[in-house]
Homo-oligomer: A and B are copies of this chain.
Amino acid sequence: MTDSEDKADAMFHALADRTRRDILRRVLAGEHSVSTLAASYDMSFAAVQKHVAVLERAGLITKRRSGREALASGDVEAVRSVGSMLTELETVWRGRIARIDDLIAIPDPEPNPTERND
Question: Could you tell me which A residues sit within 8 Å of B by CB distance?
Answer: 5, 8-9, 12-13, 15-18, 21, 24-25, 28-30, 74, 76, 79-80, 82-83, 86-87, 89-90, 92-93, 95-96, 99
How many copies of this kind of chain does the complex include?
2
Q: How far is the CB of A79 from chain B (nearest CB, A)?
A: 5
Are the C-beta atoms of B18 and A16 separated by less than 8 Å?
A: no
Query: In the complex, what residue of chain B is closest to A20 when comparing beta carbons?
Result: B12
- The answer on a CB contact under 8 Å between A96 and B30 is yes
Contact B96 A90 (CB under 8 A): no
Q: Which of B83, B95, B99 contacts A86 (CB 8 A)?
A: B83
- By a CB distance below 8 angstroms, the chain B residues around A16 are 9, 12-13, 15-16
When chains A and B are docked, how far (Å) is the Cα of A21 from the Cα of B3? Answer: 15
Bound complex: CA of A16 vs CA of B54, how far in Å?
13
- Which residues in B have their C-beta under 8 angstroms from that of A15? 8, 12, 16
CB atoms of A79 and B74 under 8 A apart? no
